[in-house]
A and B are shown apart, each in its own frame.
Chain A
Amino acid sequence: MSAIVASGVSKTYRNGVQALRDVSLAVERGEIFGLLGANGAGKTTLVKVLLDLVRPSSGTTSLLDVSSRRTAARRRVGYLPEDHRFPDYHTAQSALLFYAGLSGVAPSAARPRAESLLSEVGLDDVARSKVRGFSKGMKQRLGLAQALIAEPDILFLDEPTDGIDPVGRAQIREMLEAQRRAGKTIFLNSHLLSEVEQLCDRVGILSRGQLVRVGTVAELTQTDRSLQVTLSQPPGDALVGELARAFGTARASGGCNVDLVLERDEQIDAVVDFLRARGIGLRGLSSKRQSLEEVFLDSVKAGGPAPAAPDANASPDANGAGASR
């Protein structure tokens, strides 16, 4: 049973912006799934559709096998929206107790949980201070705590480390790792590719509302039979020419390195034999990978420019989305 399922989801806002186009996706239980996309690609809309904050034009979504349209689907869900705002009359503690109450957690159970979470996110010293005096980083930490207060099975996090210093980011990554170890499913929207690379089991790339790539980081960054060969000496043009004639594509890539593109995996042995036969020492042999950033940029370029996001300050009647994307 998948934790999160989106099936053929499309969303066109009332102002005509097509935010999602036939997105299908399944996130397994206990998995950390990272969603990448340029601004306006539809990442937030997809999360909002999954949480029923935005109603899809077509398609269906479910959480833990319960249709997102049903209130019960959100019973075991925690959500940290991008640019979230807490009512400024709350203290850190009262805010957590309030959100716990909305999730149906009794105050007696919520109180110790809130204290523990505030301690985990480093806000225990300001637990009784009003939120209005908090910095952006403190609010972000509190946001993460509110997402975790009801001990959810699925976490939707939209830019969870936004505005947080590197030390805080490391702490949050550690918290998310702990959630993964506890078997929780995490759906992560982030611009920080390094964060996604470190945390996520699988990554999806959304471009112009379409899910263009999905896979593990290793799968996405793997290029087809590209091989980097490190020699004992810099390759001359003659050697590169011979390699090209023997195996197809070859080019010097600086220093003692030669990049090869093979047609079949079996050709790797032939390459080794080829070099040994010419008395050339072999210092290294690795399959060549793209960085996640390169994969992301390639995918976005292939998808074309992203549509303009609706104006965040637009009148609510001007479009159906407000600034929800």
Chain B
Amino acid sequence: MTVFLALIGDVWREARDKRVVWVLALFSLAIVVSFGSLSFTPVDVDAALRGAAQRLGELQLRPMGLRGTMSSSRPVSCTIGGPRAPTPEDDFPLGIDGLRLLDLSFDDMRQLDALCVARRAFQQRIENGEAAAAPATSTTPIGPDVHRTCLEAHFLEAGFSPVIVRSVGDAGRRFVVGAGAEHPLELRGACEVSWFFHSFSTTLDGTSQAEFLAQLQAGVAERFAGFFGVLILLGMFASALPDLLQKGRFDLLLARPVGRVRLILFKYLGALLFVLLLWTILFTGCCVALGVATGFWRFGLIGCALTCTLVFGAIYPVTMLVGAATRHVTLASLAGLMAWGLEGVVRTLRTMMEHGQIGGGERWKPLVDVAYWILPKSSDLAVLNQSILARDYLSAAGATRLMGGAVEVNWWFAGGTTALFAAAMVAFTCVYVARRDW
């Protein structure tokens, strides 16, 4: 234990000595402060319902979870009446708390038809795993059921639940939409957000308060910790092994009663613990700052510290191995980055082959599959982060809606193969160091 603590302490001392870690800490502090400066002002539910009706022509679906939206804007002209409370004549089920009705009357049914076709095309593309593309138009006549389903889907996406749509009159141009607000935080366009202690304010039109918070935290986990952070930390720790193996320095360690494998293993674990602690502090800080500022005490983001650390933990051993073999810091850093980039390329290739987007892809598919199985799964782990955050802030239906067409990921497979990759790289490094004369 004394040996372990000595080596961990050494890794941390080395990390603290690098200026770049303080830059990272400064950025982290800025993020925590900005989270603490947030405040929300809810907008009336009726206004949100009316706003949702006004945005009827705006399609906004998520083909890849929180990573992006697929949107299209179509002119849909309709007269909006209400919102109002339901009356017995409306023939809506009683006993739904807070149900509000909206009367919609369409002037040009062809616009509604086009909207329904575009929505269906979007959904098909998401189901096929395709990225955003211009929605198709169709001349096929659309029935009233399709209209109702289309309108229902729109208000559900706007965060209302339950949603009931009734066709009124014979011409099929008028509809009554009954919408409840079972999860007020999930209503899109029902909130105004202020940043930096009320210095800047904006209305959340296309998103809900819960979605906004989940997306914000996903940004911190994925873009800051998962990308920017990994880049900085890889660069920072890339020199650790080449420096350690310097003539005259490694001798001082090897002359101690510590095995070479243990030295390398503890060095790796030290770096991993440092990264885990860094992200845990940052993410906890974000959660606490957000809780104090807005009253939302959710801690799902802290779980993302594990996945972000796992991503680093899988790429860093590549840097270690190349660093040990070449004693070249730049080469070591590049090797880590290449392994990381290769994983992204392989994943994209695999998805494209699965959807037949690459001609003659079948020939290479087994090779790409093998590469996918071997390499770490940082993209899959990013989806896991999104899933954690979506489930933390939203109801099950809301989370599914927010995650949209995100690819289903087998977490055990993704996490397990990533950990295996890391273990294999660390093992190669240990064997290399153990077998050499120093």
Contact = CB atoms under 8 A, between A and B. Distances in A.
Contacts of A104: 2-3, 257
Contact of B7 (A81, A86, A102): A102
22 contacts: A52-B254, A71-B257, A71-B258, A72-B257, A74-B256, A79-B251, A83-B247, A87-B14, A87-B243, A87-B249, A89-B16, A89-B17, A97-B6, A98-B9, A98-B10, A100-B6, A102-B3, A104-B257, A317-B325, A323-B247, A324-B247, A324-B437
B437 A53 contact: yes
A98 B6 contact: yes
- Give the interface size bracket for A toward B: 35 or more
Contact of B258 (A83, A102, A324): A102
Contact of A83 (B243, B248, B327, B436): B248
A68 to B, nearest CB: 11
Interface in B242-260: 243, 246-249, 251-259
A156 interface: yes
Contacts of B13: 87, 89-90, 94
A320 interface: yes
Interface string A66-87: 0000011111011101111111
Interface in A129-157: 146, 156
Contact of A84 (B10, B251, B256, B259): B251
A71 B6 contact: no
Interface in B404-438: 436-438
- 6 nearest A-B residue pairs (beta carbon): A101-B6, A89-B17, A79-B255, A102-B256, A85-B248, A81-B251
Given A53-B251, A146-B252, 16 more contacts: A13-B437, A54-B437, A74-B255, A74-B256, A77-B255, A81-B251, A84-B248, A84-B252, A85-B248, A89-B16, A89-B17, A97-B6, A102-B7, A102-B258, A107-B2, A316-B326
- Give the interface size bracket for B toward A: 20 to 34
A146 to B, nearest CB: 7
Contacts of A94: 13
Contacts of A86: 249, 252
Interface string B117-153: 0000000000000000000000000000000000000
Nearest to B4: A101
A51 B255 contact: yes
B30 interface: no
Interface of A: 13, 48, 51-55, 71-75, 77-79, 81-87, 89-90, 94, 97-107, 146, 156, 312, 316-317, 320-324
B6 to A, nearest CB: 3
Nearest to B258: A102
Nearest to A323: B247
Contacts of B16: 89
Given A81-B252, A89-B13, A324-B438, A103 B5 contact: no
Nearest to B438: A53
Nearest to B324: A316
A82 B326 CA distance: 23
Nearest to B263: A102
B322 to A, nearest CB: 12
Contacts of B256: 74, 99, 102-103
A322 B253 contact: no
Contacts of B10: 87, 98
A193 B324 CA distance: 38
A54 B438 contact: yes
A322 B327 CA distance: 12
Nearest to B14: A89
Contact of A156 (B2, B255, B325, B438): B255
B247 A101 contact: no
A322 B438 CA distance: 7
Contact of A85 (B14, B246, B326, B437): B246
Contact of A81 (B5, B248, B325): B248
Contacts of A97: 6
Given A87-B14, A101-B5, A320 B258 contact: no
A185 B7 CA distance: 28
A51 B254 contact: yes
A94 B9 CA distance: 10
Nearest to A44: B251
A77 B254 CA distance: 11
A287 B243 CA distance: 55
Contacts of A54: 437-438
Nearest to A72: B257
A99 B263 CA distance: 13
Nearest to A156: B255
B269 to A, nearest CB: 15
Contacts of B248: 81-85
A211 to B, nearest CB: 20
Contacts of B257: 71-75, 77, 102-104
Contacts of A52: 254
Nearest to B254: A53
Contacts of A317: 325
